C-alpha cells in the first residue's frame, strides 16, 4: 500500500504522547496501530521542557511504528494551552454582475475574514468557514453557484501564541518528523466523538486532560467557539496530595483507585488505605472515602463553572440543546457526569471515539480520542483549516489530493 494513504495523528498531551496510525481505504479510515509514552515535558498543555518531550515523542512514534508496521515520517499534530483564543471572523467580497459565486469567491471571502488586528506574537491556526450570506440572506451553507452581488462568509478563527506553537514544531522536528497540519486538540477530539446530529443541533465537547480542559462548541454543523481552561486531572491529584498529605504519586493512585467527584451517597463506613508522606511504606492510615470526595468535589465544580462561563461567553447554554459530551482521561473519574449536569443543567454524556469502527481496545477510551480525532480531522480536511498564509501552506502533496477525492462533500 502506498505511503500516501497513511495519516498519523500525534497528540502531545500533558501526561502522555500518543501517536495513532490511520489508513484511508475506500470505506473510510481504519486504524493500523498506535503508540503511547508518558511525558512530563509539558505544563498545562504547553511544552516547558524540550529535552523531556522529544524522547517521549520518539518513544510513542516508535511504538506506533511497531504496532502498525509503518515507518512514520510525517504527523498531524495537536495543539492546546491557555493561550488559545477564538473569535468569529467576517469577510465580504463583491461578485461581478450576472456572475455565479465561485469557489474562488468563497476562498477570497474566507481570506478576508482573517484580516484582523492580531496582537504581536499571535497567529491564526484555524480559519473554518461556518456560514455565509448572499445579499443579506443568511444561513446559506454553500453559496457556490448562486447569483448575488455581495457574499459574506463567517468563519471560526482560532488564534494561538506563536512561541508555544514554535516549541511544539521544534520538538516534533527534533524527533525527526515533518508536520503536515496543526489542529486545535478539542476540534480533533470532536471529530472522533460527536455525532453529526449533535453538531447540527448545538453541542459542547469538553476534553478533561491532565493539564487543561479543552472546550469546543458546535452548532449548525460546525465549530463556533473554542477555549482552553487551565484546569485538568493533575489539579485534582494535587488537591488530594495537599489535602491528604500524601506524595503526588500516592495521590494519583488514590484518585485512580478510589476517586469520586461527588460525595452524594457516600457514608463514613467506606474507608481507604493511604500512606501519608514521610510515613514508612506499609504504615498505612485509613480515611473515609467521603473525605476524598470532599476534596475532589469543589475542584470539579470549579471546572464546570469555568466551562459554564466560557459557554456564556460564547452565547449561552441555549446554543447547545444537545448538551455536553465529556471526554479525556479526567472524564473517567466516577461522578464526573453528575457534577457536570448539576452545574450546567444540560444533558451530559461520556465521550469516546465513535469511529472508525476499527477503534478497539485502548483506542476506544477517551484518552485516545484526540489521537484518533487528529487522523480523522486530517482525513476530512486534507488542506487544513489553518491560516491561509500560514507556515504550512504548500506542504500538502499527494495525500491531500487523494483524501480530497474521498471526502469531497
Ligand atoms: N480512572 C480515572 N479516574 C480519574 N482520573 C483519571 C482516570 N484515568 C485517567 N485519569 C486522569 O486523566 C488525566 C490524563 O488524561 P489525558 O490522557 O486525557 O491527558 P493528556 O491528554 O495527557 O493531557 P492534556 O490533554 O491536558 O494535554 C490524568 O490527570 C489522569 O489522572
Ligand atoms: Mg489531551
Q: What is the pLDDT of residue 351?
A: 93
Q: Name the closest-CA residue to atom 15, ligand 1.
A: 329
Whether residues 226 and 324 share a domain: the answer is yes
Taking a C-beta distance cutoff of 8 angstroms, is the pair 371, 20 a contact?
A: yes
Distance (Å) from CA 115 to ligand 1 centroid = 37
Ligand 1 centre to CA of 358 (Å) is: 23
| Ligand 1 pocket test, candidate residues 60, 207, 330, 368, most atoms within 8 A of CB | 330
Best CA proximity match to 376, nearest among 354, 361, 391, 395: 354
Q: Are residues 339 and 205 in the same domain?
A: yes
Residue 340, domain member (yes or no) = yes
Highest mean pLDDT of the ranges 103-112, 278-287, 349-358: 103-112
Residue 403 pLDDT > 60, yes or no?
Answer: no
- What DSSP line would sit under 179-217, residue for residue? EEEEEEHHHHHHHHH--HHHHHH-EEEEEE-SS-EEEEE
Using the predicted structure, report yes or no on whether residue 390 has a pLDDT greater than 50: no
CB contact burial 227-260 (16+ within 10 A = b; e otherwise): bbbbbbbbbbbebbbebbebeeebbbbbbeebbb
Check which CATH number belongs to the domain holding 322 and give it: 3.30.420.40
pLDDT band, residue 66 (cuts 50/70/90): very high
Q: Kindly state the cell numbers that stand for 93.
A: 467580497
More confident of the two residues 27 and 298: 298
Among protein residues, the one whose CA lies closest to atom 4 of ligand 1: 333
**CA-328 nearest atom, ligand 1:** 18
> Are 243 and 323 in a shared domain?
yes
75-89, 308-322, 373-387, range with the lowest pLDDT: 373-387
Residues 202 and 333 in one domain: yes
**Interatomic CA distance for residues 103 and 99, integer angstroms:** 12
Domains contained in the chain, number: 2
Report the separation in Å between the CA atom of 89 and the middle of ligand 1, taken as the mean of its atom positions.
33
360 pLDDT more than 70: no
Q: Is residue 259 part of a domain?
A: yes
User: Is the pLDDT reported for residue 394 higher than 50?
Assistant: no
Atom of ligand 1 nearest to the CA of 185: 25
Residue nearest to atom 31 of ligand 1 (CA): 233
On whether both 260 and 148 belong to a single domain, the answer is: no
209 CA to centre of ligand 1 in angstroms: 5
* pLDDT of the residue at 359: 57
Does residue 398 register a pLDDT over 70? Answer: no
Is residue 137 pLDDT above 90, yes or no?
yes
Span 71-100, average pLDDT: 94
Domain with 105 in it: what CATH number? 3.30.1490.110
Instruction: Give the domain range for residue 115.
Output: 85-159
Per-residue pLDDT reduced to its tens digit, 215-248: 999 999 999 999 999 999 999 999 999 999 999 9
| 397 in a structural domain | no
| Structural domain includes residue 133 | yes
154 and 199 in one domain? no
Q: What number of helices (H) and strands (E) belong to the chain?
A: 11, 18
Residue 324 lies in a domain: yes
Convert the pLDDT of each residue in 166-223 to its tens digit. Answer: 999 999 999 999 999 999 999 999 999 999 999 999 999 999 999 999 999 999 999 9
> What residues are neighbours of ligand 2 (ion), with CB under 5 Å?
13, 209, 370
Q: Can you tell me which atom of ligand 1 is nearest the CA of 42?
A: 27
Look at residues 159, 180, 211 and tell me which one is the last residue of a structural domain: 159
- Does 210 lie in the same domain as 138? no
Distance 44 CA to ligand 1 centre (A): 12
3-state secondary structure 62-95: HHHHHHHCCCCCEEEEEECCCCCEEEEEEEEEEC
Closest atom of ligand 1 relative to the 234 alpha carbon: 29
In a domain, 405, yes or no: no
Q: How far apart are CA 214 and CA 45, in angstroms?
A: 10
What is the spatial distance between Cα 359 and Cα 373, in angstroms, rounded to a whole number? 11
Distance CA 229, CA 310 (A): 9
- In-domain check, residue 33: no
Among 112, 132, 159, residue at a domain's last position: 159
Of all atoms in ligand 1, which is nearest to the CA of residue 211? 26
Confidence grade of residue 292 (pLDDT, cut at 50, 70, 90):
very high
- 93-100: average pLDDT: 90
Q: Select from 164, 210, 231, 248 the residue to mutate for testing ligand 1; criterion: most ligand atoms less than 8 Å from CB.
A: 210
Query: For residue 270, how far is its CA from the centre of ligand 1 (angstroms)?
Result: 25
Same domain, 154 and 199: no
Pocket of ligand 1 (CB under 6 A): 13-16, 45, 80, 209-212, 232-234, 237, 252, 255-256, 259, 328-330, 332-333, 367
Cis peptide before 354 (omega within 30 of 0): no
Nearest to 56 by CA among 74, 75, 37: 37
Dihedral of alpha carbons 141, 144, 148, 150, sign: positive
Cα-based torsion angle of the residue sequence 69, 75, 81, 84 in order, rounded to the nearest 10 degrees? -150
Distance CA 102, CA 4 (A): 30
The three three-digit cell numbers of residue 166, written as one number: 514554535
Residues whose CB falls within 8 Å of the CB of residue 166, separated by 6 or more in sequence, listed in order:
none
Q: Based on the domain organization, do 341 and 201 belong to the same domain? A: yes
CA 210 to ligand 1 center in whole angstroms = 5
Of 11, 164, 166, give the one whose Cα is nearest residue 84.
164
**Same domain for 123 and 207:** no
- Per-residue DSSP letter, 365: S
Closest CA relative to residue 387, chosen from 118, 128, 173, 154: 128
**What residues are paired with 271 via a beta bridge?**
288
- The answer as to whether 149 is a domain residue is yes
For 7-39, the three-class secondary structure string (H helix, E strand, C coil) is: EEEEEECCCEEEEEEEEEECCEEEEEEEEEEEC
Q: Distance, CA 387 to ligand 1 centroid (Å)? A: 30
The reply to whether 277 and 347 lie within a common domain is: yes
The per-residue pLDDT of the chain, averaged, comes to 90
Residue 117 is predicted with a pLDDT of 93
Could you give the C-alpha distances from 84 to 38, 49, 113, 159, 341, in angstroms and in order?
24, 20, 18, 6, 26
Beta bridge partners of 151: 93, 134
> Average of pLDDT values for 131-156?
93
Q: Whose CA is nearest to atom 12 of ligand 1?
A: 329
Q: pLDDT, tens digit, for every residue of 34-44?
A: 999 999 999 99
Ranked by mean pLDDT, the top range of 132-146, 285-299, 342-356, 371-385 is 285-299
pLDDT at residue 28, as a whole number: 84
199 & 295 share domain: yes
Q: Can you list the alpha helix ranges (DSSP code H) found in 210-367? A: 233-244, 248-258, 289-314, 336-344
For a substitution probing ligand 1, which of 329, 365, 368, 374 has the most ligand atoms within 8 Å of its CB?
Answer: 329
Ligand nearest to the CA of 260: 1
For the record, the C-alpha cell of 221 comes out as: 454543523
Please choose, from the candidates 77, 12, 42, 36, the residue with its C-alpha nearest in 3D space to the C-alpha of residue 211. Answer: 42
Q: Quick one: what percent of the chain has pLDDT higher than 90?
A: 79
The answer to whether 30 and 383 have CB atoms below 8 angstroms apart is: no
Q: Is the pLDDT of residue 402 over 70?
A: no
From 12, 13, 15, mutation site for ligand 1 pocket: most ligand atoms within 8 A of C-beta: 15
CB 270 within 8 A of CB 368: no
pLDDT of residue 97 exceeding 70? yes
Query: Considering 302, 322, 351, which residue would you say is the last residue of a domain?
Result: 351
Q: How far is CA 358 from CA 10, 354, 372, 390, in A?
A: 18, 10, 11, 33
Q: How far apart are CA 62 and CA 45, in angstroms?
A: 22
**pLDDT, mean of residues 264-293:** 88
User: What is the 156 CA–ligand 1 centroid distance (Å)?
Assistant: 28
Phi, psi of 381 (to 5 degrees): -125, 65
Amino acid at each position: 500500500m502506498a505511503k500516501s494513504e497513511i495519516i498519523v495523528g500525534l497528540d502531545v498531551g500533558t501526561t502522555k504522547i500518543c501517536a495513532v496510525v490511520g489508513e484511508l481505504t475506500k470505506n473510510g479510515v481504519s486504524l493500523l496501530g498506535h503508540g503511547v509514552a508518558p511525558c512530563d515535558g509539558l505544563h498545562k498543555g504547553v511544552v516547558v521542557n524540550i529535552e523531556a518531550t522529544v524522547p517521549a515523542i520518539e518513544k510513542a512514534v516508535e511504538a506506533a511504528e511497531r504496532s502498525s508496521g509503518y515507518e512514520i515520517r510525517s504527523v498531524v499534530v495537536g495543539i492546546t494551552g491557555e493561550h488559545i483564543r477564538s473569535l468569529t471572523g467576517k469577510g465580504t467580497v463583491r461578485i461581478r454582475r450576472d456572475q455565479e459565486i465561485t469557489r474562488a469567491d468563497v476562498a477570497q471571502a474566507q481570506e478576508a475574514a482573517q484580516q484582523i488586528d492580531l496582537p504581536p506574537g499571535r497567529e491564526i491556526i484555524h480559519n473554518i468557514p461556518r456560514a455565509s450570506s448572499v445579499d443579506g440572506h443568511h444561513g446559506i451553507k454553500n453559496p457556490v453557484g448562486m447569483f448575488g452581488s455581495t457574499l459574506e462568509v463567517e468563519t471560526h478563527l482560532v488564534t494561538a501564541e506563536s512561541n508555544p506553537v514554535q516549541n511544539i514544531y521544534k520538538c516534533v522536528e527534533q524527533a525527526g518528523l515533518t508536520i503536515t497540519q496543526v489542529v486545535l486538540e478539542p476540534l480533533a477530539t470532536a471529530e472522533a466523538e460527536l455525532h453529526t446530529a449533535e453538531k447540527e443541533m448545538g453541542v459542547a465537547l469538553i476534553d478533561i486532560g491532565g493539564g487543561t480542559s479543552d472546550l469546543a462548541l458546535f452548532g449548525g454543523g460546525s465549530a463556533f467557539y473554542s477555549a482552553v481552561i487551565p484546569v485538568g486531572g493533575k489539579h485534582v491529584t494535587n488537591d488530594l496530595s495537599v489535602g491528604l498529605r500524601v506524595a503526588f504519586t500516592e495521590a494519583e493512585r488514590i484518585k485512580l483507585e478510589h476517586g469520586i467527584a461527588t460525595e452524594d451517597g457516600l457514608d463514613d463506613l467506606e474507608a481507604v488505605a493511604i500512606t501519608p508522606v514521610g510515613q514508612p511504606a506499609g504504615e498505612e492510615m485509613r480515611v473515609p472515602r467521603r473525605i476524598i470526595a470532599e476534596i475532589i468535589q469543589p475542584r470539579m465544580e470549579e471546572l464546570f463553572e469555568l466551562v459554564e462561563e466560557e459557554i456564556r461567553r460564547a452565547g449561552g447554554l441555549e446554543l447547545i440543546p444537545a448538551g455536553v459530551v465529556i471526554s479525556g482521561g479526567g472524564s473517567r473519574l466516577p461522578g464526573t457526569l453528575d457534577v457536570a449536569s448539576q452545574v450546567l443543567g444540560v444533558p451530559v454524556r461520556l465521550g469516546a471515539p465513535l469511529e472508525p469502527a476499527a477503534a478497539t481496545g485502548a483506542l476506544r477510551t477517551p484518552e485516545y480520542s484526540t489521537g484518533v480525532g487528529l487522523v480523522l480531522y486530517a482525513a476530512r480536511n486534507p488542506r487544513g483549516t489553518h491560516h491561509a498564509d500560514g507556515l504550512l501552506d504548500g506542504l500538502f502533496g499527494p495525500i491531500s489530493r487523494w483524501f480530497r477525492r474521498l471526502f469531497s462533500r
